[in-house]
Amino acid sequence: MSEKWDRRFLELASHIATWSKDPSTKVGCVVVGEDREIRSTGFNGFPRGIEDDAERLGDRSLKYPLICHAEENAIMHAARIGVSLKGSTAYVTWPPCSRCARSLIQAGVSEIVYPAGIEIPDRWQEDFAIALGMMGEAGVTARFA
């Protein structure tokens, strides 16, 4: 993809991150196909579609059992609408944890892109290294844009 498209989808991922009601979970994911169409989106918190459910938004006891990571929510969304993520690029606002990296690999994503200059806190460095190792072994490209 060109630099222009990289920037466009990273901006969209950042925008998706603002949908979260909880400031501590403002992480977004946009999965884009080879022809640059958006195949799926997700963010930390509600799976896509559930965020519009007023009853769930108003009842914390219904909200928290649904919380999941952005990448996994994007995968759930794709499954719900019958879209394959094989060969796609996942743009995320935060590098995926090892759990999400595994999910993206299993979904067939071929590339994961996150913002350049992001600083990973020390407490997440080890998990990030594990995630990068898993992606490398699976042949998934990880890069900063």
Nearest to 47 by CA among 24, 29, 23: 29
Contact 93, 114 (CB under 8 A): yes
Residue among 37, 55, 71, 119 flagged as catalytic: 71
Q: Looking at residue 45, what DSSP letter applies?
A: B
CA distance 54 to 92: 26
Contact present, 103 and 70 (Cβ < 8 Å): no
Q: Is 137 a catalytic residue?
A: no
90, 145 Cβ separation under 8 angstroms: no
Contact 92, 70 (CB under 8 A): yes
76 alpha carbon, distance to own chain's centre: 11
Count CB neighbours of 107 within 10 A.
20
Residues labelled catalytic = 71
